[in-house]
Structure 1
Amino acid sequence: MIDFFIAGVQKGGTTALHSLLSRHPGVELPAIKEIHHFDDDTGVDWDRPDHSRLHDSFDWSRPALRGEATPIYCYWPHSIERIRRYNPEAKLIVALRHPVFRALSHWRMETARQAENLPFADAVSAIGRRRVSEAPNGVHRVYSYVERGFYSQQLERIYRLLPRGNVHVYRADALWNQPNLTLSSVEAFLGLEAVVGRGTAKPRYIVPTFAPSHSAEPSLARRLQREFEADIARTAELARLDLSDWLSEGYAEPMQP
């Protein structure tokens, strides 16, 4: 079985974590990130699931701790339930990014992919968000810029399904501010010897080549910040993290493209 999953959040530095953990000699991660197995609603019969597509992405000829990274898992309905049925002992890693910055980064990615043609302000407006609320089950893979940022709902579901000791939550910005400490904590959570965390590797923040150079207007950023405030406080309580600086209008990310 796969031992651990980097389950979220999208645009939370999961590519950097995947790349860095791949350097650990005791870890195997697929060369292709995001297999999208447990969020596959049409290609897998979840009453009698076939996990061969997932397993075929790994080399089973050597002992290793095997992990997979698909950051939609923490958001997409039933993904965590499916992971629990697959491996009740699975460990989950979740990186949290300030929800306003996450939303903007998500929009930039979808715009670069030409999956989105609305300006950011319109995409996160009531009309833009209706594309999510009116979608099946009230979720959407592309347009969920704001909805994915309500982390407390996702964490409550995770903690309801998995033991707290099997879940590691950290701040995405900590991977840039304190890379060694953050990586060592991930390795310790997985029961690994600290190798990557003792190195000199620095994470890189990569944006799509054709992503628009755009930041949210201050008034829009403040509106979104207010919308997320209660959830940030609840998320901090659930994850047992200090997120108080996220409540400040002066918060700035350390990640630079």
Structure 2
Amino acid sequence: MNFIIAGVQKAGTTALFDYLSDIPAYALSATKEVHFFDDESVDWAAPDYEPYHAQFDWTGEAIRGEATPIYLYWPRCLERIAAYNSDVRLIVMLRDPVERAWSHWRMETSRGAEMQPFSWCIRQGRRRLFDAEPWGAHREFSYVERGFYGEQIERLYGLFPREQVLLLQADDLRRDPNTALGRVSDFLGAPAPAPVEHRNVHVGQDVGGALAGEDVSYLREIYAEDMARLARLTGVSFW
């Protein structure tokens, strides 16, 4: 395995995967989100990697990769990836964490997994993670928690050298996909890709009305310290 798009959910990982799937230099997983390293049913003391390897075509010299955006957030995923291949290259796509949380909630609402309003979910609803397994992590209701990028990137940098990590912003891929894809190719040592036309991939349903100003202010206050940490680590700032 050469690379993994490891995060973050609702930040353009599907669009990036879609663009890369059209470039001959890459051989991507049969399923976009493989969800191997976050699978708690695996015996991680002696993991069997055959189901993971079965996702890929191993013929030829293509650059192989997958995209499972929960990996950056889910407990112990990064450690499992490091144990599997300490030389793997990791791509992390970031988005304004407030916008990300709102988009995440809209997705879960449209799926029928979430029945509560956004304002409740980002306040009282965070208590639901206390009853989750693993404790404090939840696949659906982690609207706020997935946005603590500084904490997650700091953990990532503690496991992998910075030169093995590429940070991209969702807005950059949306506004100028050719430049973003060029950065990916440089990072992975692939030939420069042919120019592409902008495409909309996985656009969410219009549910929930508009994001309320008081919710934006509330979340920005929650994220303030972590955003400062992210800026110190990476130079990336959203506000």
Scaled by the length of structure 1, the TM-score of the pair is 0.89
SS of 2:80 mapped into structure 1: helix
**Which residue matches 1:168?**
166
Count of residue pairs the alignment pairs up: 238
SS of 1:130 mapped into structure 2: helix
Contact 1:109 1:207 in 2 (8 A): no
Task: Write the deviation string for residues 210-232 of structure 1: whole angstroms up to 9, x where unpaired.
Answer: x5152221111111122212222
**Which residue matches 1:40?**
39
Q: Using the TM superposition, give the Cα deviation of residue 176 of structure 1 relative to its aligned residue in structure 2, in angstroms.
A: 1.4
Return the match for 2:128 from 131, 136, 147.
Answer: 131
In 2: Cα distance, 1:207 partner to 1:213 partner: 15
228-237 vs 143-152, which deviates more?
Answer: 228-237
SS of 1:148 mapped into structure 2: helix
**Which residue matches 1:179?**
177
In structure 2, runs of 5+ residues without a counterpart are none
Residue 220 (structure 1) aligned with residue 218 (structure 2): no
**Which residue matches 1:232?**
227
Return the match for 1:115 from 113, 116, 136.
Answer: 113
In 2: Cα distance, 1:174 partner to 1:186 partner: 12
In 2: Cα distance, 1:122 partner to 1:150 partner: 19
**Which residue matches 1:3?**
2
In 1: Cα distance, 2:209 partner to 2:201 partner: 16
In 2: Cα distance, 1:205 partner to 1:227 partner: 30
**Which residue matches 1:250?**
none
**Which residue matches 2:12?**
13
**Which residue matches 1:252?**
none
In 2: Cα distance, 1:193 partner to 1:133 partner: 47
Q: Using the TM superposition, give the Cα deviation of residue 70 of structure 1 relative to its aligned residue in structure 2, in angstroms.
A: 0.3
Contact 1:132 1:138 in 2 (8 A): yes
Residues 235 and 203 of structure 1: CA distance in aligned 2, closer, same or farther (over 3 Å): farther
Task: Write the deviation string for residues 46-83 of structure 1: whole angstroms up to 9, x where unpaired.
Answer: 11101111111111122211001100000001111111
Contact 1:28 1:58 in 2 (8 A): yes
Return the match for 2:198 from 198, 202, 211.
Answer: 202
The 5 A counterparts of 1:11-90 are: 11-42=10-41, 44-90=42-88
Task: Write the deviation string for residues 131-177 of structure 1: whole angstroms up to 9, x where unpaired.
Answer: 12342321111110001000011101100000111001111111112
Task: Write the deviation string for residues 15-67 of structure 1: whole angstroms up to 9, x where unpaired.
Answer: 0000001111110112321010000011x111110111111111112221100
**Which residue matches 1:92?**
90
Task: Write the deviation string for residues 165-212 of structure 1: whole angstroms up to 9, x where unpaired.
Answer: 1001111111112222111111101111111xx403214142345x51
SS of 1:118 mapped into structure 2: coil
SS of 1:92 mapped into structure 2: strand
Residues 31 and 201 of structure 1: CA distance in aligned 2, closer, same or farther (over 3 Å): farther
In 2: Cα distance, 1:16 partner to 1:194 partner: 18
SS of 1:173 mapped into structure 2: helix
Q: Give, as a single letter, the amino acid of the residue that structure 1 aligns with 2:16.
A: L
Contact 2:109 2:115 in 1 (8 A): yes
Residue 192 (structure 1) aligned with residue 190 (structure 2): yes
In 2: Cα distance, 1:92 partner to 1:82 partner: 13
